[in-house]
Amino acid sequence: MTRAHNFCAGPAALPQQVLEQARTELLDWQGTGMSIMEMSHRSKEYVAIAEAAEQDLRDLLGISDDYAVLFLQGGASQQFSMIPMNLLKKGETADYVNTGQWSSKAIAEAQRFGNINVVASAADKNFSYVPVQSSWNESKDAVYLHYTPNETIGGVEFPFVPQTDKPLIADYSSSILSRPMDVNKYGLIYAGAQKNIGPAGIVVVIVRRDLLGRVSGLPAMLDYKVHADNGSMYNTPPTYAWYLAGLVFKWLKAQGGLEGIARANDRKAEKLYGYIDQSGFYSNPVNKADRSRMNVPFVLADAGLDKQFLTQANDARLLNLAGHRSVGGMRASIYNAVPEAAVDALIEFMQDFAKRNG
C-alpha cells in the first residue's frame, strides 16, 4: 500500500500515525471487546476518552477555565446561525468583516437574526487581501465582531488579530491549531473539524462562559448553554469523530505542540509560494502579507492547460489540486497533516510540468 499525497481542502489528510492507531484499536478498544463506535457515550471508558480529548485541546491552545469547549454537530455552517441566535437580542447589531466566501456566508446567515454591519469588505479586489483595521467602519453599539482568520477558498489569512473591546468571534475552521494563538483575545472561536482537527462530523466551539445564556428560549440543540451544561452530551455526540480528534491532538503534542507544527507549516508555505513566485509559469493572486499558510491557490499561465495539469498530477498521486468549483484554477491545501515531503513532490511535479509546457 502506498498513500497518495492529498491536498484536499476538506475533508483533508489525517496523520498516518493516527489512522494506524485507529486501525489497531478498531475492533477491540483496550480490551473492552468493542469498538469505540459501539460504546455508550455515557460509559466510563468513553467519557474518559472525551475528557482526555478536551484536556489535550485545552493544553495545546492554552484554554483557561473561563471558556467552555464544546464538541458539536452541524458543521461550521450551523455556527453561522447559532452565533447570532445565542448572542444577538432583538434589534441588536453585530459587526462582520467580509474577506471572502466564508465570511459572506456567515454574514448572510447572521442577517436573519439581527442588524449586521459589514465593517469592511475585500470584494473590490476579488477578495485577494485583508483590509487594514484602520479602514474599518465599526459600529459603537455592536454586540460582537466576527471575522474569518483564514479564507479557505481564496487563500487569504489575517496577518493580525483585530483589536476590539467587543467579544471577538472567529471562524478558525481552516487554520485552528496551525500555530500558537492567544485564546483570551476571543469571545468565541469555532472550527469545523475536517481540516486540522479530525474527520468531518464535528465542530469545536470554544466560548467564553460569560457569553452563555445571553438569549433565552432557544431550541435546546441550538443553545450553547445547554451543551456547556451537559459536557456536549445533551444528546448523543459524534463519538468516533471525537475520539479521532483526540488522537490528532495527541499527535500534535508529539510534533512539539503548536510551536513545532508552526515551524513545519511555515517551511511548507515558504517553499511553495517561493517556487510559484519565481516560476514565471504559475501565479498566486493574493497580497503577499495576507497569504494563507494553509490553502495555496494558484493559476497556470495558460488556463487551457488546467485539465492536463490535474490529470497528470493525479497520475503522479498528487490528489485534489483543483481549485474550489466557484473559482477554478488550482489550490493546494497544506494543513498540519500534509507532510513536507508532499510539498516537495508537488513542487517537483510543477517544475517538470512547466518545463514541458512553458
* Identity of the residue, 98 or 281, whose beta carbon is nearer to ligand PLP in the bound complex: 98
Phi, psi angles (nearest 5°) of residue 248:
-65, -40
The answer to whether 195 is a known catalytic residue is: yes
Under the binding rule (CB under 6 A), the answer on residue 199 touching ligand PLP is no
Give me the catalytic one of 195, 223, 251, 268: 195
Distance CA 145, CA 313 (A): 41
Mark the segment that binds ligand PLP (CB under 6 A) among 85-93, 127-135, 167-175, 330-338.
167-175
Mask: binding to ligand PLP, 82-121, rule CB under 6 A, as x and -? --------------------x-------------------
Encode burial over 295-327: b for 16+ CB neighbours within 10 A, e otherwise.
Answer: bbbbbbeeeebbeebbebbeebebbbbbbbeeb
Taking CA atoms, 254 is separated from 64, 158, 196, 244, 339, in Å, by: 22, 27, 15, 15, 15
The burial class, CB within 10 Å (0-12 / 13-18 / 19+), for 161 is middle
Mark the segment that binds ligand PLP (CB under 6 A) among 27-35, 70-78, 206-214, 322-330.
70-78
The answer to whether 171 is a known catalytic residue is: yes
Which of 152, 232, 284, 292 is in the footprint of ligand PLP by CB under 6 A? 152
Let me know the angle formed at the C-alpha of 347 by 344 and 348, rounded to the nearest 5 degrees.
85
Encode burial over 241-262: b for 16+ CB neighbours within 10 A, e otherwise.
Answer: bbbbbbbbbbbbeebebbeebb
Which of 54, 56, 95, 171 is in the footprint of ligand PLP by CB under 6 A? 171
Size of the site for ligand PLP (CB under 6 A): 11
Smallest gap, in angstroms, from Cβ of residue 300 to ligand PLP? 24
Smallest gap, in angstroms, from Cβ of residue 92 to ligand PLP? 23
Under the binding rule (CB under 6 A), the answer on residue 10 touching ligand PLP is yes
List contacts with ligand PLP (CB under 6 A): 10, 75-77, 102, 148, 152, 171, 173-174, 192
Positions marked catalytic: 102, 171, 195
